[in-house]
Every structure is written in C-alpha cells, then in structure tokens.
Chain A
C-alpha cells in the first residue's frame, strides 16, 4: 500500500512537471496554429540560464525564473512575427513551411548550445534541491511540488487572462477565427508576437525547474518536444486546461507502469493511451481541442 501511494504521488508530480511547459505550448498552437518543435529548445535554454545563475553568480537557481521569462520572452517576441508571417504566407502549404521553420529553429538552438556550452550535463541548484518531506509512509520531493504548483499557477493565470481580460478575449477570438478577429480591429501580427513571447518566456521558466529536477544538456530538448507533442495530442490541440489533465494522466500512467510492469513498457503504455484517446475522442481528452 505504501508503494502504491508513493507511486500515485510520483505520477501526479511527474504530470505536474510535464504540465509546466505543455500548457504554454498549447496556447502558442491555439493562436499561431503551429506545432512548435522549438519547445524543447526553450526548455533547455531556461535550464542553462538556471545553471549559469548558480555557477557564475552563486545565486539560487530559482532567481533565474523571472529572468528567464523576461529574456526569452523578449527573444520570442522577436521570433514570433517571423513564424506568423510564414504561417500566413501565400505559399501552397504554409502550415508545413511553419512546421519546418520551427524545426529549423530547434536545430539552430540545439546546435548553438552545443557549440557554446558543449556536451556536458549541467545541474541547477536551488534551496530545495534534494529536499523532501515525509508524510506518513510517503516521501514528497519538494522541488516537484514547486513545479506542480508552478504549473497550476500558470494554468490558472492563463485561464483568468484568457477569460477575464479584453486582451484574452482578443487572443481567443484570434484562435477561433483569425480573419474575423482582424476585421474587429485586432492587430493579429502584434498579438501573435506577444503570444509567442509569452509562450517562450513561460517555457524557459519551466526549463529552470526542469534543470533543477533533472539535469540539462543540449540533447535533452528533443525529449521535451516529444512530451509536449504527446500531451498536446492527448489534450486536444490548443486546449490549455486539457494540457493539465493530459499531463497528469500521462504522469500517473508512466509511474504505475514503471513500478508495477517495467519502465521499458512505459512509452508503450503512453502510446497506447494516445491511440485509444484519438480513436474515441479525436478532439482530445476533454473534447475541447481543435
């Protein structure tokens, strides 16, 4: 029973960790209509910022979180319009062109990081690194709790922003129908830049947490891109609230399969779940995706 409870907690916390970067990924897809392969690149960049804050300045890795938002948010704001223009160009298959561009951006980020920082694996140290809390028979890793709370806060904040503000209304309107939104006076180009900036900033913040929970090297970006894609498909493309549910579900499946069946079957279990959900509900687990 102890192991069962620990496994359940592990799964929910893994889900929380995955949700940190998949929520913003969904937002970017909803507005830009691009599956951004660069997501793993932004996560890793955030992780490296966390590492250098610790290694060079001797500060707590958590201090990199707001800095990651500002720095990579600004970079995303500059890149966003390029992606937007390619996605809405008059070429035959603009969606494929945008996909290729995001893949190119990912390759560029990965290659740039390899050249700049090499292949070695780095670690982000925070005040909570390795700290845990014993609640009865269950051990709770505190840094994962922080990541789960962070994901919930980002999801809640985005939800409020999207449904309680005029700008959020504009974003939803753009996601719903770009042309009609433009006719109503929404500056689609600037809005896309803002949304991509917001997404890149949030993802890089999540990257600091990922670096603190796991470790960071330029090669791990692909893993995060894959997970974001899994969650997005399970959640329904563009569904922010679905991302939270899907991430938690995947986390719990991974934990239980790893503990009770064998870790080498966890990916198979995830793929099977993905397949079944697509079969039963193609618009995602909450039936709210595109």
Chain B
C-alpha cells in the first residue's frame, strides 16, 4: 500500500481551491432558499435620495422607515393570526420624474415588491402612476400634495396628505373665523410654477367659500422682482395677503414688504414657514407669519402601532434627532394604511398578481384612525383616492417659534391679528 502523499503542492492547492469555490457557488442557492423561507412583505420606496429634493426625499424615507421599524418590532404585520415582517427596498428618483418611473419599474420587476410607497414630489408621483397601473401594483403616497396627482384618477395610487388646493382654501376659512375685527378682503400672490400655482388657486377659490372679497390675484414668475406687486397690493390695502410659493419667495415677500413699510393685517403662506430655515433667515421679521400644516405633534390622535401623536414625535425625535414634520408623519401613516389593508386582505406573502389587485381594493376601503388623524380615501371627484379628511391647522410664528393657533380645538396660543406695524 503506497503511502498517502500529504505534502503541499501548487497543483493540489489550486485544485482544492477550485473545488471549494465550486462547492461554495453550488451551495449558495440553497443558503438563499433557506433564508427566503422566512416570508416577508416586500415594500418598495421610490423617493429623492439625491438631487435637489434630497432633503424632502429623506423625510419621506425616514417616515416610511419609522413604520417599518415599529411594525417589525411588534413581529410584523398581522395576517390571519400570523405575523410577517416587512422588508424595505429603495429606489432613487434622483429628483427627476422620469428616473422615478424607471426606479419604480426596477423595484417591481427585479425586487418583486408587493407594494410601493410613493415619492416626495408630485411630479415624480405622476410619472410613477402609469408604472403602478401597468404592473398592477398598489402605491401609497405619503407626500404628494398636487391636486393634479388625483385629477388623473389613479387606480393604484392613494394619497395620505390632502391636496394643497383643499388645505390652502380651507385655511382661509379658519383664518377668517379667528380674525377680530373680521377680515373682509384678501390678495393672493402665487408663483407661476405647478405646486405654488395650485396653492394660490386654492387660496383664490377658498376666499369665496370663506366669504372674503378677492382684492387681486397676482401670478408672478419665479425670477421676478416682487417690489411692483407688493406696491400694488399696498395700494389696494387688503386685510390678508396669501402667498403660494416655496421658502425663497416667502422670504422675499416679507423682506420686500418691510422695505416698502407695508404690513397686511395677516400674512399667510402654505408651505415653508415650518422649515426652521424660514424663521432663521428672517429673524424677528418672521414673527406673525401664518402657515398651514395638516399635522402637528400636539394633535389629539392615536393608534395601536405608534400610540399618540406625541409618542410618534418622541420616537421620531429619538431615531432622527429632530422633531418630525407632517410629511414624515403622513409617510409613517402610509404604513398604517398598508398594515390595515393587509390584515383585512388576509393573504400571506409573497402576494400573487391577483392578490396585489385585491390589496388595492382593500386599501380603497380604508377607514381608520391613526396618530396622524382619520384616513379615508375619496372614491370619486377631483380628489379621487386622496385622503382629504384632515382639517388644516393654522400655525403662526410667535417669538421665533411655530405654534398652533387654529382651529380653536387645536390651538396652543392666541392668534395675533392684526399684525403690528414693522418696527
């Protein structure tokens, strides 16, 4: 019997290595299969993780993740007595609608997601909707605020935040009730770009419903100087000036008004004043500015996953290091809608194409109370599949802080009206 040669040789080493690599490669699928046996619901998030909307994009991602973390901490979504964890997949729209549509397709085809969570911007949301329709995958949008998203009557998309035309319009009614002596006239300025124009149109139409006379409606280009407009409005002297625009325009309205020594009795802007950068940029001149939000940590709502609105704010503060705004809250609430619909659907993962369509129908029947407020989607009309239940909360900057001032049941401070003259 020849002795077994156990000495090291180059040929043996290479041969052994090749066998090990082959065995490893052959073994990998089994490892994967073993892992995949723990069934999970796969959720895709399309949002702006790069580009000019990265800040808002991260807000939406953080909101969706907060729900995934909370529900997974409870063992997952409850379906027919069992619990299934949620696995998140991310697609970056790079702040471009066309890229968002590509990302959505990739999430559906390559990652095989059961459901999508919608983008930060309305433009991207509108671009992704046809993809959802094509692959029959439901989407829950925690951020899109443009009424055009819902005017398109998207069969597979659902929105948690009321469209901006409803909130800006309703907010004038709330303001009119708070004003003493009662405000009678309003001038509306809106920047000629999609979101801002829709906000301005909301203010314009809401004025009529609130019994206010529209002194003027001014559509301004984004790059225009505001001095002529503010001079014209100062000559008309309305009680309220309402502005549809983003932060930069809002800052310039305040600066230009002050430089012309003109201050209306109330200045209301829909978006931007809750961004701390607004008050930081203007300092004391930001005081008195009114804004509109659809959620605050102080609202009196609660649910089984997050607890009260305050509990949610504390959880978000702990994980994100800052107080959550209404976008993050609405995105987290999107998860609650999904959890509720999956529970009612009673189908275990992974969902078949038929089950995904059934999930869409289950989402459409949502009628729940959450820490964010009531959620129930419109079944017809111009806000089809949008949740227009939340009543807008008026906030005002007082002493550098943003406080809720109306409606009365949500108020934490008295509304300052009329605003004092500039110092």
A226 to B224, CA, bound (A): 12
Which of chain A's residues 88-131 have a Cβ closer than 8 Å to chain B? Answer: 114, 118-123, 125, 129-131
Given contacts A121-B281, A130-B258, A143-B259, contact A258 B224 (CB under 8 A): yes
The answer to whether A263 and B228 touch across the interface, beta carbons within 8 angstroms, is: yes
Instruction: Indicate if A7 sits at the interface (CB-CB under 8 A).
Output: yes
Tell me, rounded to whole Å, the shortest Cβ–Cβ distance linking B422 to chain A: 7
Q: Which of B55, B224, B231 contacts A119 (CB 8 A)?
A: B55
Across the interface, do B192 and A215 meet the contact criterion of CB distance under 8 Å? no
A interface: dominant SS? helix
A2: which B residues are within 8 A, CB to CB?
Answer: 235
Q: Interface 1/0s, chain A 250-261, versus B by CB < 8 A? A: 010011101100
Stretch at the interface among A62-70, A165-173, A216-224: A216-224
Inter-chain contact B225/A141, CB cutoff 8 Å:
no
A10 to B281, CA, bound (A): 24
Indicate if the CB atoms of B225 and A14 lie closer than 8 Å: yes
Q: How far is the CA of A10 from the CA of B229 in the complex (A)?
A: 10
B256 / chain A contacts, CB cutoff of 8 Å? 141
Report the separation of the CA atoms of residues A37 and B129 in the bound assembly, to the nearest whole angstrom.
37
Contacting residues, chain A, for B252 (C-beta < 8 A)? 214-215
| Known contacts A119-B55, A122-B281, A215-B281: A255-B228 contact under CB 8 Å | yes
A132 touches B248 (CB 8 A): no
Q: How many residues of B contact A (CB 8 A)?
A: 35
**A132 to B261, Cβ gap below 8 A?**
yes
Given A121-B281, A139-B260, A213:B218 Cβ within 8 A: no
| CB of B275 within 8 Å of the partner chain | yes
> Which residues of B in the span 201-247 have a Cβ within 8 Å of any Cβ on A?
218-221, 223-225, 227-229, 231-232, 235, 247
Specify the chain B residue showing the minimal Cβ separation from A264: B219
Given contacts A118-B55, A123-B281, contact A254 B224 (CB under 8 A): yes
| Contact yes or no, A10 B248, CB < 8 A | no
Separation in Å of the B206 CB from the closest CB of chain A?
21
Query: In the complex, are the beta carbons of B55 and A262 less than 8 A apart?
Result: no
Query: Is A3 among interface residues, defined by CB-CB distance under 8 A?
Result: yes
Contact status A263-B224, CB under 8 Å: yes
Contact of A7 among B220, B221, B231 (CB under 8 A): B231
Q: Does B87 contact A (CB under 8 A)?
A: no
Asked whether A123 and B255 contact (CB < 8 A) given A259-B231, A263-B224, A264-B220, the answer is yes
Q: Which residue of chain A is the closest to B236 with respect to CB atoms?
A: A3
Complex formed: what's the CA distance from A279 to B148 in Å? 41
Q: Tell me the minimal C-beta distance from A85 to chain B in angstroms.
A: 33
A13 within 8 A of B: yes
- Chain A nearest CB, measured from B95 CB (Å): 11
Enumerate chain B residues within 8 angstroms of A26, measured Cβ to Cβ: none
Contact across chains for A262 and B285 when beta carbons are under 8 A apart:
no
* Distance of A276 Cα from B230 Cα, bound (Å): 29
**B277 partner residues in chain A, CB cutoff 8 A:** 120-122
With A14-B227, A121-B277 given, is the CB distance from A130 to B221 under 8 Å?
no
Q: Is the CB of A217 within 8 A of B224?
A: no
Query: Is A78 at the interface (CB under 8 A from chain B)?
Result: no
CB-defined contacts of A7 to chain B, threshold 8 Å: 228, 231
Contact (A123, B228) CB under 8 Å given A3-B235, A132-B260: no
A267 interface residue per 8 A CB criterion: yes
Does A6 reach chain B (CB closer than 8 Å)? yes
A sample of 18 more A-B contacts (CB under 8 A), given A120-B247, A215-B252, A263-B219, is: A3-B235, A7-B231, A14-B225, A119-B54, A120-B275, A122-B277, A123-B282, A130-B259, A130-B285, A132-B261, A141-B256, A141-B259, A251-B225, A258-B228, A259-B228, A263-B220, A267-B221, A267-B223
* Chain A interface (Cβ < 8 Å from any Cβ of B): 2-3, 6-7, 10-11, 13-14, 17, 114, 118-123, 125, 129-132, 134, 139, 141-144, 213-215, 217, 219-220, 223, 226-227, 251, 254-256, 258-259, 262-264, 266-267
Residues in B lying within 8 Å of A, measured CB to CB: 52, 54-55, 192, 218-221, 223-225, 227-229, 231-232, 235, 247-248, 251-252, 255-256, 258-262, 275, 277, 281-283, 285, 422
